[in-house]
Structure 1
């Protein structure tokens, strides 16, 4: 299992601004890590859906976190 970092950003005038980052430890794959990060981000910000605070959720450039 791998570790993942997911970046959440809000787009303003076509430019993405990072509004949060969530690290997921031990996900079976990138799809599961992304879903877990979306749920955690929403819970941290006290909203029902992560899209209320961000426009995009993407796995960070290198995909995995190295200790």
Structure 2
């Protein structure tokens, strides 16, 4: 199973800034990796929902260049 990295971004003046990243090891697909990362991110910051701190979550397979 592939490893994924999920970057959580906040939009400031229309530009995305990464405010945190979560590594997910061994997820079946990108959707499952994103869901796992959202929960981990929320727990890490003591939030009820990850959207309290970030505007978007971007999934990339570990080792892939996103930009």
Please report the TM-score for the alignment, with normalisation by the length of structure 2.
0.90
Aligned residues: CA RMSD: 0.8
Q: Does 1:64 align with 2:33?
A: no
Runs of 5+ consecutive residues of structure 1 not aligned to the other structure: none
Greater fraction strand: 1
**Residue aligning to 1:24:** 24
| Partner Cα distance (1:56, 1:65) in 2 | 18
Runs of 5+ consecutive residues of structure 2 not aligned to the other structure: none
Question: How many residues are treated as equivalent by the alignment?
Answer: 63
Equivalent runs, 1:1-67 vs 2, <5 Å: 1-59=1-59, 63-66=60-63
Q: Residues 25-62 of structure 1, C-alpha deviation per residue, up to 9 Å, x if partnerless? A: 00011000000000000000000000000000011xxx
